[in-house]
Structure 1
Amino acid sequence: MTAMAQIAAFGGVVMLGAMSPGPDFAVVVRRSAVSGRGHGMAAAAGIAVGVFAWVVAAATGVAALLAASAMAFTVVKVVGAAYLLYLGVKSLRAAWRGGGALRLDVPDPGGRGSWAAFSEGLLTNVLNPKAALFFVALVPQFLGSGASVPALSAVALAGTAVWFLTVANVVGALRKVFAKSAVRRAVDGLTGAALIGLGIKLATSTRP
């Protein structure tokens, strides 16, 4: 298999992983629905940077160390689960508060800006030790034969960004629908429940 074929295959696998439902998807959908496509795109960018970091970590052995160390895995797992639970509770509180229709001329009802959305996406991805296991298993299979770490990292970054930016723009385009109080509360409630469920699943997971 040529280097270009390896890189293309790697990008396809990473894209399929990004499309799998999980906390990254939930964060982008909620950010786009509640705060607008700009903030959804910022969250998507944070997730893409997180994936880039995991590919580099897997290629340099850092992620392998995390996967091999029970203590390191547990620490990251607990912190990641706590963060997902925090996001989930925050979403449920927003659903409970409800309120009037969301004004579309303000960037964020919380007033925290795009940087907070970027950080939320980045932390959601980086604090997920399952991402480490995924890339530790995946990256070594594509290294060599001209497929360099920078090339694989760039492809992973681009593929993840394309998928989640698409999600952010599709949801953002429907924001007038999500601006309705009942719809927004439903999004907050469902997202909050999903994030809490994912947090509990992560907290109770074990290394394969």
Structure 2
Amino acid sequence: MTSMAQIAAFGGVVLLGAMSPGPDFAVVVRRSAVSGRTHGMAAAAGIAVGVFAWVVAAATGVAALLAASAVAFTVVKVVGAAYLLYLGIRSLHAAWRGGGALKLDVPDPGGRGSWAAFTEGLLTNVLNPKAALFFVALVPQFLGSGVSVMALSGVALAGTIAWFLVVANVVSTLRKVFARPAVRRTVDGVTGAALIGLGVKLATSTRP
């Protein structure tokens, strides 16, 4: 397999991983629905940077150390699960509170800005030890034969952000629908329940 073919194959696998439903997807959908396109895209960018970091970490052996160390894995797992539970509880609280009609000319109802959305996406990805295991298993298979770490990291970054930008733009296009209080409460409630479920699943997971 040529270098370009290896890079393309790696990008395809990473893209399929990004498309799988999970906390990253839930965060981008909620941010895009509630705060709009800009914040959804910022969350997407944060997730993509997290993926970039995991590829580099896997290639340099840092992620392998995390995967091999029971203590390190547990610490990241607990912190990541706690963060997902925090996001889920916050979403459920927003659903319970209602919040009235969304004013579409206000970019962020929470007043926290795009940087907060970016950080939310980044932390959601980076604090998921399952991502470490995924890339530890994947990256070594594509290194060598002229394929550089930066090439793999770059294609992972590009593929991930491309997918989540599509999600952010599609959801934000329907934002007038999400502006309805009943729809917003449903989105917040479903997203909150999903994030809490994912947090519990992560907290109870074990290393393979």
Q: Per the shorter chain, which TM-score range?
A: over 0.9
- Between the aligned residues of both structures, percent identity stands at 89
Name the structure 1 match of 2:37: 37
Q: Runs of 5+ in structure 1 lacking a partner?
A: none
C-alpha distance after superposition, 1:59-112 (max 9, x if no partner): 000000000000000000000000000000000000000032100000111000
- Aligned-partner Cα distance in 1 for 2:186–2:158: 31
Secondary structure, counterpart of 2:101 in structure 1: coil
C-alpha distance after superposition, 1:27-83 (max 9, x if no partner): 000000000010000000000000000000000000000000000000000000000
Instruction: Report the RMSD for the aligned CA atoms in angstroms.
Output: 0.3
Within-5 A mapping of 1:86-97: 86-97=86-97
Structure 2 length as normaliser, TM-score? Answer: 1.00
Name the structure 1 match of 2:6: 6
Secondary structure, counterpart of 2:106 in structure 1: coil
Within-5 A mapping of 1:156-195: 156-195=156-195
Q: Is residue 2:152 matched to residue 1:143?
A: no
Secondary structure, counterpart of 2:168 in structure 1: helix
Name the structure 1 match of 2:73: 73
- Aligned-partner Cα distance in 2 for 1:165–1:179: 20
Within-5 A mapping of 1:94-173: 94-173=94-173
Name the amino acid aligned to 1:156. A
Structure 1 length as normaliser, TM-score? Answer: 1.00
Name the structure 1 match of 2:62: 62
- Aligned-partner Cα distance in 1 for 2:44–2:99: 27
**How far does residue 113 in structure 1 lie from its aligned partner after superposition?**
0.1
- Aligned-partner Cα distance in 2 for 1:69–1:165: 34
- Aligned-partner Cα distance in 1 for 2:37–2:99: 21
Secondary structure, counterpart of 2:53 in structure 1: helix
- Aligned-partner Cα distance in 1 for 2:145–2:190: 45
Q: Runs of 5+ in structure 2 lacking a partner?
A: none
- Aligned-partner Cα distance in 1 for 2:64–2:164: 26
